[in-house]
Amino acid sequence: MQFRRTSRWVIVGAVLALGLDLMVAGMATAATPQVSGKVRAAALSAAAHGAGDTGLIRGEQSSRPAPMGAVTRPVVRRAGSPNATYRQYVAYSQTFTSQPHEGVRWAEVYCPSGMVATGGGEANSSPGGVTLHDTYALSNGSGWHVDVTNDSEWQANLTVYAVCFSGLTAYTQVTAQASISGAGRMIAGAPCPAGMQSLSGGGWTSSYDTYVSDSSWYNLEDGDHGWGYGANNLSPDQAVVTAQALCGSGIANYSWLGFEGGKVDPGYEATAYQSCPSGTFVVGGGGVGSLGFRFTDSYPSGQGWRIYAHNDSDEFDSVGIDVICGT
């Protein structure tokens, strides 16, 4: 079932929106492919050697809901080789391991030179035990970054993904912020400039005492669209959430598909998958959650998008998925 989340985003309230235009004039341009099973398979198989880095932000054990302090961001790195050969390229990192209660880990994967990230995310081997804190495109569009914590009693293996495109006629990142004083949920929505396509997005927060509860496409009453990002704050201290919308022009056969799943039992996790129409590429995607949901995985899978979310509340609730498609 397709649906339009209009009223929810209208009540977000006043946010600070900042636009960051990235130059694309010098990008390697690949012609729009003759999309077929062969072409799509080639675009994916080339991603087997995605470059990436990982690191440990804090070595002590996670102690939420006790505050973990301000976020320190790694330095943005340049995109690596090879040069852009494909219209779409799904890069993924080497699998990295997070030990039980190790602390917050960051990881990145980079797009090939001449390409920019239109979507991305993370997958792990123990969805219910991993918390996704932040997931967003690097500020120069060169790849994707995630921050995660392994809260479980067992080892988790994780992989970071970036959906990369070449040949876009424009590429812009727009951010918007919202804050909350104390425990609770906060949501910010970043609208794309008029006439530009919402490619997907992500976001981050000012504290690791938060977790992702929503990262999804949205539509405003005036017809604008962009990306929304929600997080739950577990700390009594104030926290700020920043939504990041990835906006662009030049995606042909553009479509947005939204699917809302059924109710999920308290204490259980759910997964959802949405594939793109035949003959199109996945551009980006995300998940739609409510107050009690903690997203643990959100990533491209084949030519579609998959999410996992855990219902941490004591009530039944539903989870949904968004996917952006095109050629």
Q: Which residue type occupies 69?
A: G
Classify residue 207: in a domain, yes or no: yes
Number of domains in the chain: 1
Residue 50 to residue 110: CA distance in whole angstroms: 7
CA 111-112-117 angle, to 5 degrees, is: 30
Q: Strand 96-98 vs strand 156-165: parallel, antiparallel, or unpaired?
A: antiparallel
Classify residue 111: in a domain, yes or no: yes
Domain of 94? 7-326
* H-run or E-run covering 307: strand 304-311
DSSP states of 219-248 as a string?
Answer: E-TTS-EEEEEEEEE-SSSEEEEEEEEEEE
The residues, ordered by sequence, that sit 6+ positions from 227 with a Cβ below 8 Å of its Cβ are: 189, 190, 192, 198, 200, 201, 202, 203, 215, 216, 217, 218, 243, 244, 245, 246, 286
Q: What is the pLDDT along the chain (327 residues), one digit of tens a residue?
A: 232 333 233 223 223 333 333 323 223 323 322 222 222 222 332 333 345 777 766 433 333 322 223 333 333 333 344 456 789 999 988 888 888 888 888 899 999 888 999 999 999 987 678 889 899 999 889 999 999 988 888 898 999 999 999 999 999 999 999 998 888 888 899 999 999 999 999 999 988 888 888 999 877 655 668 999 998 888 888 889 999 999 999 999 999 998 766 678 888 888 889 999 999 999 999 998 877 788 899 999 989 999 998 888 888 888 889 999 999
Classify residue 97: in a domain, yes or no: yes
Classify residue 68: in a domain, yes or no: yes
pTM given for the model: 0.80
